[in-house]
Amino acid sequence: MINIFEYLNFRDFLRDAYEERHTGDWRFSHRYIAEKAKFDSSMFNKILQGKRNLTSRLIKTFADIFCNDEREKNYFANMVAFNQAKTHSESRQFLEKLVASKECKVEDLAKDQFEYFDHWYHAVIRELVTFYPYVGDDAALGLMVRPPITAAQVRSSIALLERLSMIKKNEASGFFEQTQGLISSGTESYSTAVNSYIQQNLKVATSAMDRFERDERNLSTLAFGCDDNTYKELVEMVRRFRREVLAKVSACEKPNRVFQLGMQLFPLSDPYPPPQRRGRKRRIRGQEVLDRETIDEMCVEGGENA
C-alpha cells in the first residue's frame, strides 16, 4: 500500500497512488479524477508531467481523493507547497515541516543533508584533515580556515563528518582521511539543502576580495550576449571544465591548502523578443506595453462613451 510519508515529491506520490488505485478499480481513471476536480480530462496527466501546478482548490480536491485522514492531507499540502515554492527560503520552510512530521520516512536523510550543507565550513574541514595533522587541537584547526571558525564549530564538524562516514581516523597514523561516503543526491531535499550551501559560499566569496591580496585570489566576471544554442554550449563547457578540475585535483598527491572555485552562469536580462505571457499583450521596439489592466480600462472607457 502506498505510504504518502515516504514521498517528498507530490507528483511521484500522485502517480504511484493513482496506479495503485487504478489497478484495483478500473473505474478509477483520469476521467473520474477530472470529474471530481472539475477540469479537462488531460489536466491530470499535465500535472503529473510537471506542466501544471496545483491551485489551492486542487490541493484540497486531490487531498480528498488520495489521502485517508487529516495527517495525510496536511502532509500532502506541505509537500505541494515545498515542490511549488518560488524561493529557496520558502522551499526550506516547507521541507522542514515535512521532515518534522514523526511519520516522515525520509527524516534522517533530510536532516543529514541539511546539517552538512547548513555550514560552508564542513566541506573545508573535510579537505583540511587530509593534510593537516589534526589530533584534537580544535582551536588550531579552526584558525587554519579562512575566515576562521571556532573550536566548537570544528568539533561539531568533525563529529558530523565521522557520523556521515565522510572521514575516518586511520588507526595506524592517528590522523583522519577521507572516505567515499557521500550524502545521496537523488532526493528533493538535496537541491534545497545545496541551494543554502551555495548561498553561503557566495557570501564567503564576496568577502575574499578584502581578505586576500590580489596574487592570492583570482576573481573576474563577464557580461555578454548570446542565443539559446550558444548558452547550452556554454553550460556544457562549464560542466566539462568542472570535470577537468576534479580530475586535476584528484591527481594532486600532496595538497597543502583548501581552495574554492565558484562558477556562475545565469541570465542578466529577458530574451528578445519578449516571451508572450498569458493575459498580456506586449508590443516591442519602443511601442507601448498593454497589459490586462490597461485593456480593461480601455473597455470601460469605451462602454462609458457608447
Residue 51 lies in domain:
4-99
Query: How far from 181 is each of 63, 87, 161, 168, CA to CA, in Å?
Result: 38, 30, 9, 10
Average pLDDT (34-50) is: 93
Distance CA 168, CA 14 (A): 41
Average pLDDT (260-273) is: 84
Asked if residue 114 has pLDDT above 90, the reply is: no
Higher pLDDT, 122 or 197: 122
Question: Is position 74 within any domain?
Answer: yes
Question: Is position 21 within any domain?
Answer: yes
Classify 271 as helix, strand or coil.
coil
Asked if residue 224 has pLDDT above 70, the reply is: yes
**Residue 285, all three cell numbers:** 521596439
Q: What is the mean pLDDT of the chain?
A: 81
Question: Is position 295 within any domain?
Answer: no
Distance CA 87, CA 151 (A): 33
Do the strands 176-178 and 280-282 form a parallel or antiparallel pair, or are they unpaired? unpaired
Question: Is position 221 within any domain?
Answer: no
Question: Is position 204 within any domain?
Answer: no
Question: Is position 38 within any domain?
Answer: yes
Distance CA 42, CA 109 (A): 35
Asked if residue 52 has pLDDT above 50, the reply is: yes
Average pLDDT (227-256) is: 89
Question: Is position 83 within any domain?
Answer: yes
**37: domain CATH number?**
1.10.260
**Interval 67-112: pLDDT, tens:** 999 999 999 999 999 899 887 778 878 877 887 776 766 545 555 6
First to last CA, the chain: 64
CB 10 within 8 A of CB 83: yes
Asked if residue 188 has pLDDT above 70, the reply is: no
CB 189 within 8 A of CB 8: yes
Average pLDDT (167-172) is: 88
The count of structural domains within the chain is 1
Higher pLDDT, 297 or 173: 173
Question: Is position 218 within any domain?
Answer: no
